[in-house]
Amino acid sequence: MALRWHGLLLVMLAAGLAGGCFLESDLQRELRGRLRAEGLHIIDCRQSGYQAFAFEAVPSVPGKWPEGVKLAQPMPSGRDFIGTTRKSVICFNRHNEILWEKKTTFEMLVAGLAVSPDGSWLAYRTSPSVLVGRASADQAPMAYVFAPMASPGAYTKFAEGEDLESYMLGWSNDNERIVIGLAGEIRVYERRTGKYRVLARGRNPSWSPDGRWIAYHTSEGGAFVADPGPWKTSRIDLGGEVLNGMQWSPDSRYLLGTIRQRHFMGDTCIVVWRQPDGAHEVVLRPPLDWTNQDFGWIFLRPRGPE
């Protein structure tokens, strides 16, 4: 009888660890506290809108993009969104009120998008170029940081070996530099001159809003966090192979990553990693047919509109 009870207890314990029902870690408690106090959610950016996931058993919050938006993500503040249509870049809030719109002179297919921490500069990556301009409604043209137009309507291609799977880019906290993955390298470009330096081999870098860290992963899925000053790197453990980059929370305390777990099933899941102690937790297990991998952070009230 005692053995049966022990066996049942082990089964319940394993279920609790897997589902977070019985045993709650310090990180889980912290995230739930942030949810209740500030409405901090994970956001899954989709083609037509978003799904905001809570860290507790409450219904997720769905939202729609304004008409025509093809790509969108939260601003660094976690309060508003930045998005693109075929011929414009727009800033809007979660009630779909457009705060400003910047027209472009040509149709574009945007792969990556980033706004500077102070909200004043915008960078986006098309297939052949990275463009930078004011994040406002002014009609000043976007400037090319690299791969400038060789002639009207034509683009200079990237160097041979361009990594099309590395689409993320991020800003330094002084709003002067942009980090991007290109040709299998992590590069930091100067906004004013277009000059760059190579920091490491890797892809999909993201710069923490406080400017202290750059996160990136290798083609093999290894995750790293680096101090961009002396460029001191540390390998971090998210519990599996990183698939498509990592996103910093607005306060630079957490990283959000999509991973493939190490066990034989190789489940894909969403993990939060905490700075500085390295604690990590699975916060979302998408369905088997899930393919979207564009995640970020947003502040919503825990229940109900602002």
Examine the pLDDT at 200 and tell me if it is beyond 70.
Answer: yes
pLDDT tens, residue by residue, 124-151: 777 667 778 777 776 565 665 554 333 3
Residue-wise pLDDT for 224-257, tens only, equals: 999 988 888 999 999 899 988 899 999 999 999 9
User: Is the model's pLDDT at 30 over the cut of 90?
Assistant: yes
Residue 32 has pLDDT above 60, yes or no: yes
Higher-pLDDT residue of 227, 284: 227
Residue 15 included in any domain: no
- Kindly state whether residue 13 falls inside one of the protein's structural domains: no
Residues 76-83, mean pLDDT to the nearest whole number: 86
Proportion of the chain in helix, strand, coil states, percent, rounded to 5 = 10, 45, 45
Does the pLDDT at position 109 exceed 70? no
Q: What is the overall mean pLDDT for the chain?
A: 76
For 33, 57, 103, 137, the CA distances from 29, given in Å and listed in that order, are: 6, 13, 44, 41
More confident residue, 222 or 287: 222
Backbone angles phi, psi at 117, to 5 degrees: -55, -35
Domain assignment present for 28:
no
CA distance 187 to 209: 18
- The enclosing domain of 174 has a CATH number of 2.120.10.30
Range of the domain at 74: 48-299
Domain annotation covers residue 102: yes
Which range (72-76, 105-109, 151-155) has the least confidence? 151-155
Strand partners, 254: 274
Asked if residues 186 and 201 have their Cβ atoms less than 8 Å apart, the reply is: yes
Amino acid identity at 5: W
Pairing of strands 71-74, 61-64: unpaired
pLDDT band at 44 (very low <50, low <70, confident <90, very high): confident
> Is 84 domain-assigned?
yes
The reply to whether 304 falls in a domain is no
Is 241 a member of any domain? yes
Domain count, the chain: 1
CA angle 225, 37, 170 (to 5 degrees): 30
- Assess if residue 31 is contained within a domain: no
- The percentage of the chain sitting over the pLDDT mark of 70, rounded to a whole number, equals 73
